[in-house]
Structure 1
Amino acid sequence: MKFERTRLGAAVFCLATFLGAAGAASGQQAFPFQNPNLPIDQRVDDLVSRMTLEEKVSQTVNGAAAIPRLGVPNYDWWSEGLHGIARSGYATVFPQAVGMAATWDTDLLGQIATTISTEARAKYNQAVKENVHSIYYGLTIWSPNINIFRDPRWGRGQETYGEDPYLTSRLGVAFVEGLQGDNAKYLKTVATPKHFAVHSGPESSRHRFNVDPSPHDLEDTYLPAFRATVTEGHADSVMCAYNAIDGLPACANKNLLEEHLRKAWGFNGYVTSDCGAVDDFFMPKTHMTSPDAEHAAATAVLAGTDTNCGNTYNALTMAVSEGLISEAAIDVAVKRLFTARFRLGLFDPDAQVPYASIPMSEDDSALHRELALKTAREAMVLLKNENNFLPIDPKAKTIAVIGPNAAALAALEGNYNAVPSHPVLPVDGLRAEFKNAKVLYAQGSAYVEGLPVPLPRTTLHPSAGSTEEGLRGEYFASADFSGSPVLTRVDPQVDFDWNSASPAPGIPAKSFSVRWSGTLEVPQPGDYALSITLAHCYPCGDYEGYTVYLDNKQVAEFGTAEKDSRESTTPPFHVHLDDTKAHAFRLEYKHRAPLFGAGITLNWTPPAQPLRDEAVKIASRSDVVVVFVGLSPELEGEEMPVHVEGFAGGDRTDINLPAVQQQLLEALQATGKPMVVVLMNGSALAVNWAQQNAKAVIEAWYPGEVGGTAIAETIDGKNNPGGRLPVTFYASNDQLPSFEDYSMKNRTYRYFHGTPLYGFGYGLSYSRFAYSDVKLSSKEVSAGDTLTVEADVRNTGSRDGDEVAELYLVPPKTDVSPIQELKGFQRIHLAAGESKRVEFKLSPRQLSEVDAQGRRSVTAGAYSIFVGGQQPATGAGQSVEFTLRGSQELPK
């Protein structure tokens, strides 16, 4: 969905409503719909029958209005829970979705989703007590994103579970079940798999782009995960996409919404549009399949889209008067929406709803933080480890930590993120882990030359002559610095996410100010461009402002207008420094908002060579160099205003590491010191040079609030990495088809005929594992039967560790058949020397194939099964052949 991400994940716009209404669960039962003992369908029918047309229409937009005469409070359907409850104050921040996928751990995904739903309930329960019925505080969670990550250039691929339909299906089902809970009567939250369907970029043309997938690709690749989350996970909601499919916008596509979703899959929940997707039916430079809002709204509802993120459905009243849609058709949508609210228990006494008593103490708890750390540990993928260089030799006395991601909050958070209360940046994680070593730090480079990055702590000191890094921060419980500071501390850098959150105890989240003071030292004399990113929420009625002083002279000032400013990242201001001495520096920040916003980052656009020289200097003094390079959610993400070399509108045009970071790696290599490269990113990178020259390479993704700890423990050896790649790491752009081409030909490990840099399912360990005695329940399988596969897995190394046993099916070759297909996986823990017998039961659906016409069938022929730690071509396992007899067509 459209949401312009600022540096701290706050909204540039937010469709927020703040009016509350008394709930119907007061104990009085004036109407049958208020009787919790009646069946839900009767209650819903009764409630909707009492509404006027205008009241019904008011319920079909995401900011559903209150109906005071019926005791119906307003409700906003928009809440985010991709890898933590987002934009509503502090919550547990798990690794980004692609990092969660790298765990290959379905049980863990279920635990994560259960935690997210617990925190969502805690926040909702508290919000209701405070009469808050706003966006981001509801129980309808717009997650998971189960689109297939077909091309590494897509900026939103970080939100997905990768490129494989089966892996995505299993993780998606686990996540949906964890979100919705296991109560027989009440949903804990509502899960919303998205974006239905065939959606994966480009971001710049998503509002007008049409996809004509082949029948085979549609059924074989793009739909299986949606089918699984609906038929197995029983997701109560689905979000339709921006793009068109076969000439019809996804939110008006009856083949998807009616033939597949409701008829073939038996979906009984509600469908929400992506934000503004129905506008794309008629707005200029979009699909323009409807002449106006009335026709667009009627078309979407009649196709099966029940609620509209946006305001277009407000035109439904006029659409009825014009004869474009009947009130009865609107009733269908409204009843689906209220069925969800009743299933959530929103109209029942709290005493009857088991989740209504979850307290705020469950939010951001120590136990949940530990789960975030476990997830980050499991997500680490070891890509190279030359001569067992890792874990680092404990004799290393000096460690250089270098790179733009070594001390950047955004690199922990990713996008659609929760707000971390105690983030552990990589440099801080390494300093905490390697207490007996001297850990030096340098930023080293920007992400892309010419773009701003957070001003590094090495340039800041709390007072003249101090060697301590950072600025002195004074925190006030007012928006105008009045009174005495509630808190004074040294902040290593100004890079904070306080979206709907208090900076510290005793400071109100809605109104505060901070004064940072100290000195600024630059690496070389000259002109410098500084900038401030604010977590400004439009149109939330907030105020964000700052003033900057250098050498006690004001050099910049900015303030958002309370009602009409859309600014978040503010224009840069330039300063000139004649030397590299310490200069007095002060930044004053003011925040005032009824609910949202808060957060600030102090950036600079640094010269490349001086940063590189600083990095080389500390590397030369070190025993080992750990370099944190990769991408940033400031570069890859949803529909972003970024157009620089290698990046366009949130997507990438080049999968290589950006040039300025590559130059940094080469300069560090020239020092002769051993180098460990840690990648932090949401998508695959072609890091061929690092693979050839670094001693070790780790993929850490955007690893969540305690990512710095997990990375340090992996480098130290306390964590034995066991993650696997959920996407193919291609060697170059030359291996990729056109980004606009949605055909799966030569895409992903299932159809790619080239040699990748790192394959899907790849990942090393500090242990070694061997497979043996792979057996099938039968060498001849009749169509419709289940096939059982067993194998022994042994840890032949000297360390305890996790192994992911991967099962691939290699089908008979046809014009459309995949080369190989993941059909089973298990993450298991094995002590050194331990063996375990793993078992997989392959259903007829897992043994089936899709033909060119899109028909899925169990098909006769000669097949092979491979069980191992990677893909069959690596030989890291064993293959067994079998024969399928007969055929059986399966339902969609």
Structure 2
Amino acid sequence: MASSSTTILSFLTPFFLLFLLGFSSAGREPFACDPKDATTKNLPFCKVSLAIPDRVNDLLGKLTLQEKVKLLGDNAAAVPRLGIKGYEWWSEALHGVSNVGPGTKFGGEFPGATSFPQVITTAASFNASLWEAIGRVVSDEARAMYNGGVAGLTYWSPNVNIFRDPRWGRGQETPGEDPVVVGKYAASYVRGLQGNDGNRLKVAACCKHFTAYDLDNWNGVDRFHFNAKVSKQDIEDTFDVPFRMCVKEGKVASVMCSYNQVNGVPTCADPNLLKKTVRGQWRLDGYIVSDCDSVGVFYDSQHYTSTPEEAAADAIKAGLDLDCGPFLAIHSEEAVKRGLLSESDVNSALLNTLTVQMRLGMFDGEPSSQPYGNLGPRDVCTPAHQELAFEAAKQGIVLLKNHGPSLPLSTRRYRSVAVIGPNSNVTVTMIGNYAGIACGYTTPLQGIARYASTIHQPGCADVACTGDQLFGAAIDAASRADATVLFMGLDQSIEAETIDRGGLLLPGRQQELVSKVAAASKGPTVLVLMSGGPIDVSFANNDPRVAGILWAGYPGQAGGAAIADIVFGISNPGGKLPVTWYPQEYVSNLAMTAMDMRSNPSNGYPGRTYRFYKGPVVYPFGHGLTYTKFEHSIASAPTLVSVPLQGHHKSPNATVWGKAIRVTHANCNRLSLAVHVDVNNAGSRDGSHTLLVFSNPPAGHWAPHKQLVAFEKVHVAARASQRVRINIHVCKYLSVVDRSGIRRIPIGEHNLHIGNAKHSVSLQATTLGVIKS
């Protein structure tokens, strides 16, 4: 039987193998400060020995206003008299180096790059170390392509918006619906991308789209005209959490503001969001960029200002540093001339972008002499990188149902397999959106064929599945094979940027095909779903003829190999759903434009995500089965935690309001509780298990009914146990947000749940000496 590496590498094209054997890049010319240019090499901004702020200020002092404004757009103009070349800021690296942005081009020595699973799939691994490892690989390949002259160093990824509504077409790009999971993914992936070399950046990442952005085009409302009406409570409690974690914990170099308005103000023109929050409170060390043409959108489409010059001035004064698009470059000079904007405002924006470029080494002369300067074509699509893509796909696949159990399939018993469905032999479908050109693919059909003889029938012409002309051949194949694997679900024609779904059911006549094939199948029928968003497959979950259901998301270039390894038991599934799977009825009368997270029983509003919705589900957040049996018990945990107070109030009674302490009035330094959990693998297979730690806060009308406070991935051998220490930061994860948007720590009993294990811990306020007024 082929090894994992052989499985993947056997599908590499000979063209790629040539490059893996050692072609070398000719390198690129310096972006600036070419040591061969006598007119610039001694200028202060070119001197690596000087501090970056001094170098930036020197460069700003040498630029004219006309030159400055031409640096405000993503296609920044060259400054030939200072030896500075033009630069395209827009590159993408959501789950691999992408060619969506104009800054990256495949071809020549770089025909493609490793295409990892779509983010929603990788998030299902709940493995933060994996997320960071993927970031490191992606930035290796990005630097290699930059050195080869075909990519930039500024990548507008990741997308850390909350997957609020299951119909959102871009939900696939996100790590799911839980703010803590999304925030931890953001910080981990960004650390992988940017490196840990102090003030130097490997590449510059960007967390987007700030904020409350999670609607593309639904029922006549599009993202360019949408005004998200969001409470202070939901902004602080949900929508901003991942961005704050990305900036404060991930140290991201950029944040992108979104197209939509929030409470009547375009995000890219809102100083409270940009200048006060992102740069002021969170202390972004980097630049703020608009989504593409956002400034033009709030002028042309939203009619937020009367003139384009006012729009340019509003954006820059609000804290915007860079425009994806030409709007600022065209209108900012006139805005200065009219007195709407000062040149010092322009300087402030450029200070942030130029600082990031200097941290990237773009003003340090020859790229080949810098850190990462040795990376080239042989560092792209390496066997190790592709093995990681394979591993990520396996870790992200979620086993939703296993009746019997019927899975895994035995290769001895099931020698022939009917491989059926519109997603059974796909390639680009597996990599989702914001992807590039993959190194090579293992399709589902190719993956299954490594373990059994196959009878392949598509069943539907495509995922739209509008007719039943191909049903007969598929049903016949299932009746002849020892087992049947159906590959159904969605693709980018159903859910994508600019495309939100109308409902949650399988498209067209897919459900009919699944039921008829399962009824006719000679052996067990396994349903494999590819999708970013959840699908209501209640019919299959309730059908005893459907023996197993797997969700693969969009599993990346190695998706077919990973699915086959799970189906045939070479690997043990360990993924868990990062989103709630709702029944179709959930969205029947629910407007995507309704932004409230909390339920409202008085008007029938159901609430959103597992934190606030209590109704029926198809599969809950965190659901995921395995081929073994994991048990947990709490070995030790405190029953009482003291929360020390600090601040300027006269008494603790003034600080403690409604039995909840303001986080800003607590001494949060090292305020955490340690929970030791014994994880026992009682089954006969080794496996990885995700510990999801939920908390039920003390009852309160503004608290979630439960929230995830920690998660940890652990591998446990069969018939073995492992003790896991989980640290829960009290201020960050046991706090809740009141209706005024103030984060507070509820005093009283918090109930922790880890599977069936439960533990109660009481939080009590204590004073630190005299609290002065």
Deviation at 1:609, TM superposition (A): 2.4
Equivalent residue for 2:727? 841
Equivalent residue for 1:686? 536
Aligned runs of 1:52-451 on 2, under 5 Å?
A: 52-87=64-99, 88-89=105-106, 90-127=112-149, 137-203=151-217, 204-283=221-300, 286-313=301-328, 314-349=330-365, 350=367, 353-394=370-411, 395-432=413-450, 434=451, 437-447=452-462, 449=464
Deviations 1:744-799 (A, max 9, x none): 02110000111211110110000100111343134343354321111111000000
Which of 24, 35, 41 is the equivalent residue of 1:26?
Answer: 35
Which of 677, 684, 692 is the equivalent residue of 1:798?
Answer: 684
Aligned runs of 1:536-575 on 2, under 5 Å?
A: none
Letter in 1 for 2:426: A
SS in 2 for 1:858: strand
Which of 690, 694, 701 is the equivalent residue of 2:553?
Answer: 701
The 1-side partners of 2:418 and 2:202 are apart by 47
Aligned runs of 1:558-637 on 2, under 5 Å?
A: 608-637=467-496
SS in 2 for 1:614: helix
SS in 2 for 1:335: helix
Is the 1:271–1:306 Cα contact (8 Å) retained in structure 2?
yes
Equivalent residue for 2:742? 855
Is the 1:424–1:706 Cα contact (8 Å) retained in structure 2?
yes
Equivalent residue for 2:763? 884
Is the 2:465–2:509 Cα contact (8 Å) retained in structure 1?
no
Deviations 1:689-731 (A, max 9, x none): 1111210000001100010000000001001000010000012
Deviation at 1:859, TM superposition (A): 2.4
Deviation at 1:367, TM superposition (A): 0.8
Deviations 1:646-683 (A, max 9, x none): xxxx1001101113111111221221432100000111
SS in 2 for 1:881: strand
Letter in 1 for 2:212: V
Equivalent residue for 2:627? 766
Going from structure 1 to structure 2, the CA distance change for 1:22 and 1:396 (only over 3 Å counts) comes to closer
SS in 2 for 1:793: strand
SS in 2 for 1:373: helix
Is the 2:30–2:362 Cα contact (8 Å) retained in structure 1?
no
Letter in 1 for 2:563: I
Letter in 2 for 1:360: P
Structure 1 alignment gaps of length 5 or more = 1-18, 452-607, 640-649, 869-876
Is the 1:774–1:880 Cα contact (8 Å) retained in structure 2?
no
Letter in 1 for 2:139: S
Going from structure 1 to structure 2, the CA distance change for 1:780 and 1:315 (only over 3 Å counts) comes to closer
Letter in 2 for 1:753: K
Letter in 1 for 2:704: P
Equivalent residue for 2:6? none
Equivalent residue for 2:753? 866
Deviation at 1:293, TM superposition (A): 2.1
The 1-side partners of 2:481 and 2:395 are apart by 29
Deviation at 1:880, TM superposition (A): 0.9
Letter in 1 for 2:500: D
Name which of structure 1's ranges 732-741 and 47-56 shifts more when overlaid on structure 2.
732-741
The 1-side partners of 2:611 and 2:462 are apart by 32
Is the 2:417–2:481 Cα contact (8 Å) retained in structure 1?
yes
The 2-side partners of 1:713 and 1:352 are apart by 43
Equivalent residue for 2:595? 742
Deviations 1:280-312 (A, max 9, x none): 1211xx221012322111111110111101111
Name which of structure 1's ranges 774-783 and 110-119 shifts more when overlaid on structure 2.
774-783
Deviation at 1:202, TM superposition (A): 3.6
Is the 1:216–1:854 Cα contact (8 Å) retained in structure 2?
yes
Is the 1:774–1:878 Cα contact (8 Å) retained in structure 2?
no
The 2-side partners of 1:34 and 1:396 are apart by 67
Deviation at 1:421, TM superposition (A): 2.4
Deviations 1:804-837 (A, max 9, x none): 0111111012112101111111111110011111
The 2-side partners of 1:430 and 1:749 are apart by 35
The 2-side partners of 1:32 and 1:795 are apart by 62
Is the 1:447–1:660 Cα contact (8 Å) retained in structure 2?
no
Is the 1:102–1:380 Cα contact (8 Å) retained in structure 2?
yes
1:47 aligns with 2:59: yes
Is the 2:481–2:521 Cα contact (8 Å) retained in structure 1?
no
Is the 2:422–2:463 Cα contact (8 Å) retained in structure 1?
no
Deviations 1:26-73 (A, max 9, x none): 255231101111000111111111111111011110000111110111
Deviations 1:832-878 (A, max 9, x none): 0111111111112222111111101222122111123xxxxxxxx21
Deviation at 1:634, TM superposition (A): 2.3
The 2-side partners of 1:21 and 1:839 are apart by 48
Deviations 1:68-122 (A, max 9, x none): 1101111111010000001132000000000010010000000000100110000
Deviation at 1:448, TM superposition (A): 5.1
Deviation at 1:383, TM superposition (A): 0.3
Deviation at 1:184, TM superposition (A): 2.1
Going from structure 1 to structure 2, the CA distance change for 1:22 and 1:619 (only over 3 Å counts) comes to closer
Is the 1:845–1:858 Cα contact (8 Å) retained in structure 2?
no
Which of 651, 654, 657 is the equivalent residue of 2:503?
Answer: 654
The percent identity for this pair of structures is 38
SS in 2 for 1:697: strand
The 2-side partners of 1:760 and 1:670 are apart by 30
Is the 2:637–2:674 Cα contact (8 Å) retained in structure 1?
yes
The 2-side partners of 1:166 and 1:732 are apart by 27
SS in 1 for 2:424: coil
Which of 590, 612, 620 is the equivalent residue of 1:751?
Answer: 612
Equivalent residue for 1:554? none
| Residues paired across the two proteins, number | 684
SS in 2 for 1:677: strand
Provide the TM-score with structure 1 as the length reference. Answer: 0.75
Going from structure 1 to structure 2, the CA distance change for 1:211 and 1:442 (only over 3 Å counts) comes to same
Equivalent residue for 2:21? none
Which of 525, 531, 535 is the equivalent residue of 1:675?
Answer: 525
SS in 1 for 2:209: coil
Structure 2 alignment gaps of length 5 or more = 1-27, 100-104, 107-111, 599-606, 645-667, 769-773
Letter in 2 for 1:199: Y
Is the 2:31–2:362 Cα contact (8 Å) retained in structure 1?
no
For the aligned residues, what is the CA RMSD? Answer: 1.7
Is the 2:158–2:207 Cα contact (8 Å) retained in structure 1?
yes
Letter in 1 for 2:332: L
Letter in 2 for 1:789: V
The 2-side partners of 1:36 and 1:733 are apart by 61
Is the 2:465–2:510 Cα contact (8 Å) retained in structure 1?
no
Provide the TM-score with structure 2 as the length reference. Answer: 0.86
Is the 1:857–1:887 Cα contact (8 Å) retained in structure 2?
no
Going from structure 1 to structure 2, the CA distance change for 1:20 and 1:279 (only over 3 Å counts) comes to farther
SS in 2 for 1:195: strand
Name which of structure 1's ranges 19-28 and 253-262 shifts more when overlaid on structure 2.
19-28
Going from structure 1 to structure 2, the CA distance change for 1:887 and 1:61 (only over 3 Å counts) comes to farther
